[in-house]
């Protein structure tokens, strides 16, 4: 056999990261179940039960991205056809995320719009909802601003100005960290807990998973900022940054839906059915 490929597609080397990633997700899920039920896990109590899962996820992200970057920068195996496949894969991944959040929105709408016979009013009696025009509004401004900064970074990359692109990418990542900080503060001062009924459970599931996606997107952007500082992007080849920007805009759009429906229109008024 010839050592030279007779086709433009990249045949990926055997990789442990899909299996490690699946193990990380399972570890995090099991830890979260025991954490929310306040049960010890192998003698471990408190938030420490979910730390191993997070560590494995971060390790998987770092090492898997390292291999993909190596394929692109050093091995130069990301041909035009391979790049098209990577972009298509990112589009399909975001589409699956849309359906993922669609399930949470449907659970919220099912009870808030009177379709559920178990819900007599919304928000349920005894639930003191959060003010949409306080921290949630500030977080909306932060994410909308981050959408502008990441777009500016993208324009600089397309112009071949990686140094300036890195600067604006770091700013976007900083805004993501600021958003997460305010969300943690909001959770710490909320008057209801996850297990206090259908409103809290749907609220925390939707906003909490969105927060996790902001964490992933922020990590994605930090990787892209480091790569831009190393001048690894070119105007005609920057799939890594393009994917990060698409993902970040998706996070922005989901938050707008959360703010309008969960916090504002269906979060504050008391409606009886």
pLDDT at 5 over 70: no
pLDDT value for 48: 86
**Structure confidence by residue, pLDDT tens digits, 172-221:** 999 999 999 999 999 999 999 988 889 999 999 999 999 999 999 998 99
Give the architecture (CATH level 2) of 85-272.
Up-down Bundle (1.20)
Q: Where are the beta strands (DSSP E) in the chain?
A: 121-122, 271-272
**Structure confidence by residue, pLDDT tens digits, 67-98:** 988 888 888 888 888 899 999 999 999 999 99
Task: Specify the DSSP class assigned to residue 3.
Answer: S
Query: What is the SS3 assignment for 42?
Result: coil
Highest mean pLDDT among 16-20, 70-74, 117-121: 16-20
Where are the CATH 1.20.120.80 domain residues in the chain? 85-272
pLDDT value for 47: 82
Identify which of 132, 101, 125 has the alpha carbon closest to the alpha carbon of residue 207.
101
**Structure confidence by residue, pLDDT tens digits, 214-253:** 999 998 999 999 999 999 999 988 999 999 999 999 999 9
| Residue 3 φ then ψ, to 5° | -75, -10
Give the architecture (CATH level 2) of 13-77.
Orthogonal Bundle (1.10)
Identify which of 73, 15, 28 has the alpha carbon closest to the alpha carbon of residue 231.
73
CA angle 130, 29, 266 (to 5 degrees): 25
pLDDT value for 3: 54
Q: What is the pTM of this model?
A: 0.87
CB 155 within 8 A of CB 205: no
Where are the CATH 1.10.287.70 domain residues in the chain? 13-77
CB 232 within 8 A of CB 165: no
Q: Which residue has the tokens 């190393």?
A: 230
Identify which of 221, 212, 209, 211 has the alpha carbon closest to the alpha carbon of residue 248.
221
CB 53 within 8 A of CB 32: yes
**Structure confidence by residue, pLDDT tens digits, 123-138:** 888 889 999 999 999 9
CA atoms within 13 A on the CB side of 194: 13
CB 172 within 8 A of CB 146: yes
CA angle 95, 98, 100 (to 5 degrees): 115
């Amino acid at each position: 056999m010839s050592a030279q490929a007779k086709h433009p597609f990249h045949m990926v080397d055997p990789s442990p990261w899909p299996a490690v990633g699946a193990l990380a997700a399972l570890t995090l899920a099991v830890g979260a179940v025991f954490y929310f039920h306040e049960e010890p896990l192998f003698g471990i109590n408190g938030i420490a039960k979910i730390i191993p899962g997070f560590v494995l996820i971060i390790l998987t992200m770092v090492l898997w991205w390292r291999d993909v970057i190596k394929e692109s920068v050093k091995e130069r195996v990301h041909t035009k056809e391979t790049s098209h496949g990577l972009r298509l894969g990112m589009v399909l991944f975001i589409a699956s995320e849309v359906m993922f959040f669609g399930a949470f929105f449907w659970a919220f709408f099912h009870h808030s719009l009177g379709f559920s016979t178990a819900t007599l009013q919304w928000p349920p009696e005894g639930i003191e909802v959060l003010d949409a025009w306080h921290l949630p509004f500030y977080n909306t401004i932060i994410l909308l601003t981050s959408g502008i900064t990441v777009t500016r970074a993208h324009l600089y990359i397309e112009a071949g100005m990686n140094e300036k692109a890195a600067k604006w990418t770091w700013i976007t990542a900083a805004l993501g960290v600021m958003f997460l900080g305010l969300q943690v503060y909001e959770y710490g001062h909320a008057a209801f807990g996850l297990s206090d009924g259908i409103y809290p459970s749907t609220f925390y599931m939707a906003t909490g998973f969105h927060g996790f996606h902001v964490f992933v997107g922020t990590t994605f952007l930090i990787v892209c900022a480091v790569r831009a500082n190393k001048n690894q992007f070119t105007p005609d080849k920057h799939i890594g940054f393009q994917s990060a920007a698409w993902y970040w805009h998706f996070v922005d759009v989901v938050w707008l839906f959360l703010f309008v429906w969960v916090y504002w229109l269906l979060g504050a008024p008391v409606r009886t059915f």
